[in-house]
Chains A and B, each alone.
Chain A
Amino acid sequence: MSPQAKKAAAPALGPRVGEIVERFELEKAWLVDPVSGREGPGEIVVIDGVLESVVWLEGVEAKGVTDKGVVVAPGFFDLHAHFREPGFEDAETVATGTAAAAHGGYTTVALMPNTSPALDEPGILERIRSAARAGGSPVEVLAYGAVSAERAGEQLSAMGELADAGVIGYSDDGAPVRTPKLLRSALLYAGMLGLAVVDHAEDSELTANAEANEGYVASVLGLQGWPAAAEVNAVSRDLAVLADALLDEPRVRLHLTHLSTAASLDLVRRAKAAGLPVTCDVTPHHLALADEWIAGARRWSWEALDTDAAVRDPWVDAALTAWPYNTSLRVNPPLRSPVDAAACLVALLDGTASAVVTDHAPHTVVDKEVEFGKASNGISGIETGLGVLLALVDAGKLTLAAAVAALTTGPAGIVAGWPAAAATPAARKRGLIEGAPADLVVFDRADRWAVTAESLRSKGKNSPFIGRELSGRVLLTIAGGRLAYEDPAAGEG
């Protein structure tokens, strides 16, 4: 930890997770406020859980404070995570998931309904909320309801009752909404309720038994190709159905999650330009990693492109440094080519994609310590999302402000576009707002941390970053005025 941070965090907070932060002062940090668009040296004071003051420093007072050290940002909002409860508590629980989220700087998470049983009626939502209350974490836990009953793709879930109970939208995530006909009904019914359908865009017929992005790497490794066409086809279907449904119901909303290919992002770009009510997001791993990692490469996606933006060959470059077929890299959609990763970044920069989501997908060793083709899909990513985005910032690919926006105002803005969710706390502006309950994260860009099975709070150790270092150690996360996470070393200085 940098001396600055030690000094700053030295007054031990005292409170435990879940308790009101009675007093916290941070002098001479770099503040990022994505609502006002302002960033720079400043100080904050939290008293009795309220962000009492935000002071921007200038002149001599600001001297020596840079954006390369301790940063204060609004608490992050993950639009897409899996906490596995109920049904798969050996992989994650709401308690361990919220602890992991807070360690990653998140103060709000939206959980996908592919639990067992699926979240297709209000009783399951109540179970999740009760687990969140029992866990004691102040991290706000939101949830999507399933689109279809039992996520079986046959008939609609209890959508209206789920809306009354407070779901923020609908998804059959883990799988696409099975048929275009069901999607049209779901969009219309959800639109009537003022909520969005969040689709995992995948043509499952084209991806049956698929293992890795179809291309050079999969060909060499003998892995069954997962074609980009599967995502492009599904996005195309979804957009066609959306345009059709919009004729009947002006409040229909579609959100496409974890898009991973240049061509599918291009479809969304054009659909948005044409005025369709569609939004999308990308993940840290699709931005920063590429399929060559499965062969054993361990460089960032932008390092796998040469100056002409052509894909570098990891075999030519002798870039293969790790053991191949690491199952922590098996994810849906699969890690794509470096060109697709670059397209995800362009989409984020030009606003086609307005949020970065982790698709945090913890799995047990039973599901991951198996043959690559038999391993479950997913990356345990809620604790490494910030570090991966900071790698983009460090490389000059993304500004710090844009990275913070993608984790805060970006997702909040998407939810604000869903009529019935616009007034909920999830859609609130995520800025450093004086007088509001403190909801913020403090991290140190100068402090790298080792990603290990022990350092991850999630039960899911299926991270491709295990054994590596990321920058931006999270020192403190305050959610709704309460302590969500404090770095164990923070009070020792």
Chain B
Amino acid sequence: MSGGIDASAAAAHLKGAAPSQDVVWHHRHLLDVDVLTWPEIELIMRTTDEMKGILARPIRKVPALNGRRVTTLFYEASTRTRVSFETAARNLSADVVSISTATSSVTKGESLVDTIRTLEALGAEILVMRHAVSGAPYLAAEVFGGHVLNGGDGWHAHPTQALLDLYTMRQHLPHGDLHGRKVAIVGDILHSRVARSNIWSLTAAGADLWLCGPATLLRGMDRWATAWATGAVPGHGRFHVTSDIDAAVSDADVVMALRIQRERMQGGLLPSLREYAARFGLNAARMALAKPEAIVMHPGPMNEGVEIAPDVAIGDRAVITEQVANGVAVRMALLYLLAGSHDASHIHETGHAPEAAR
């Protein structure tokens, strides 16, 4: 990809590319990847390519969302996701308002619905939301007049993470093709919104997906895998659920570790972090079972020495910092697709009416 393209060129490129692929972006919100068709996912990937081009320039700023108002509303602590979204929005020249619930009227008992109505009255057009309760962004999208972008809800979904994971994998796989490629996700699957969103996007990409962890942290996933074993879900394939780490990692093209939280010990789900590290930690010996060119991923934040050994986390095969960098580009692409004017001639206009369709 060459640097030096400007926003209108990016938009023109997209405009030119879209009709040939018969893809028109029609989603008003992005709440999960489950509603995306494969051509829509490819459109996001192509748009991310353009955004990567912008990020390669000395001045990483284009006026695509000039004057548009992006509000980040985080009900859960997060560093990288919030900063990533805010950086993405600023790169597109949007105005960014950042709200963390620790300092807002949420601490005074304000309901989510009231908070969202208030933010809308204050001019929010694009709402990026992180919430500890599964499904909360769906409630937000029901009451909010603009666009809702899910920055992670409970155990349910983290669509931008799944899309940046997919983008990163495509960068490292021949022809950017995941078909038949073995992807192992290891860790606390039960509580993981990253794993759930990745199930949708990676099976859509045709990957041979393996979910691995202790039985207590896999509960319910086998029922999901069984339901999809017939391959009957349109656009999605079967995936594997196992507690056998060696089987999961063997000949893998991609190995992704998930964070293990200390609360899991208090909940009686794990004996100790030491035992987890010994049985499921991603170390050099286990990575030796994977393909030699296999990449190592982690959505962060990492507990080095628990789910991933320090030498693996910073080793040659780790693409963890690339994931972070790609996160900004993917989020720029999604902000642009959701809220930007897709017509190059209107790229500098503000006050573009939000699309009516969900």
Given contacts A316-B232, A325-B135, A325-B139, contact A373 B223 (CB under 8 A): no
Q: Which of A222, A313, A323, A373 contacts B227 (CB 8 A)?
A: A313
Question: Which residue in A220, A224, A366 is a CB contact (below 8 Å) of B224?
Answer: A220
* Residue pair B133, A216 in contact (C-beta under 8 Å): no
| Alpha-carbon distance between A218 and B112 when the two chains are bound, in angstroms | 22
Q: Please report the C-alpha to C-alpha distance between residue A369 and residue B115 in the assembled complex, in whole angstroms.
A: 13
Task: Please state if B133 and A372 are interface contacts (CB–CB under 8 Å).
Answer: yes
The minimal Cβ–Cβ distance linking A106 to chain B, given in whole angstroms, is 32
Interface size on B, residues (CB 8 A): 27
Stretch from B63-71, B148-156, B327-335 that touches the partner: B148-156
Contact of A221 among B112, B113, B156, B219 (CB under 8 A): B156
Assuming A223-B135, A313-B227, A369-B111, is B232 touching A218 (CB within 8 A)? no
21 contacting pairs across A/B (C-beta < 8 A): A216-B220, A216-B227, A222-B157, A222-B196, A223-B134, A223-B135, A223-B154, A223-B155, A225-B220, A313-B233, A316-B232, A316-B233, A323-B142, A324-B138, A325-B139, A369-B139, A371-B112, A371-B135, A372-B136, A373-B133, A373-B154
Is B174 engaged at the interface, CB distance under 8 Å to the other chain? no
Cα distance A218–B113 in the bound complex, in angstroms: 24
Asked if A452 is at the interface (CB within 8 A of a chain B CB), the reply is no
Closest to B135 in A: A325
Bound: A222/B233 CA distance, A: 18
The total of chain A residues at the interface (CB under 8 A) is 26
How long is the Cα–Cα vector from A372 to B156 in the complex, in angstroms? 12
Q: Mark A357-396, 1 if CB is under 8 A from B, else 0.
A: 0000000001001111110000000000000000000000
A215 adjacent to B196 (CB under 8 Å): no
User: Which residues of A does B touch, CB under 8 Å?
Assistant: 211, 214-216, 218-225, 313, 315-316, 318, 323-325, 366, 369-374
Min Cβ gap B194→A in Å is 11
For B157, the chain A residues whose CB sits under 8 A away are 222
Cα distance A373–B139 in the bound complex, in angstroms: 12
B contact residues around A373 at 8 Å (CB): 133-135, 154
Q: How many A-B residue pairs have CB under 8 A?
A: 76
Q: A221-B156, A222-B153 are in contact. Are A371 and B224 (CB under 8 A)?
A: no
18 further A-B contacts with Cβ under 8 Å, apart from A222-B155, A370-B113, are A219-B223, A220-B224, A221-B134, A221-B156, A222-B153, A222-B193, A223-B134, A223-B156, A313-B227, A316-B232, A323-B142, A324-B135, A325-B139, A369-B139, A370-B111, A371-B133, A372-B136, A373-B134
Q: Is A218's CB under 8 angstroms from B220's CB? A: yes
* CA of A315 to CA of B153, assembled, Å: 20
- How far is it, in angstroms, between the C-alpha of A366 and the C-alpha of B112 when the chains are bound? 11
Closest to B35 in A: A320
- Asked if A371 contacts B131 (CB within 8 A), the reply is yes
A374, B223: Cα distance in complex, Å:
26
> With the chains together, A154 CA to B133 CA distance in Å?
32
| Cα separation A366 to B111 with both chains bound (whole Å) | 8
CB distance from A138 to the nearest CB of B (A): 39
Any chain A CB within 8 A of the CB of B234?
yes
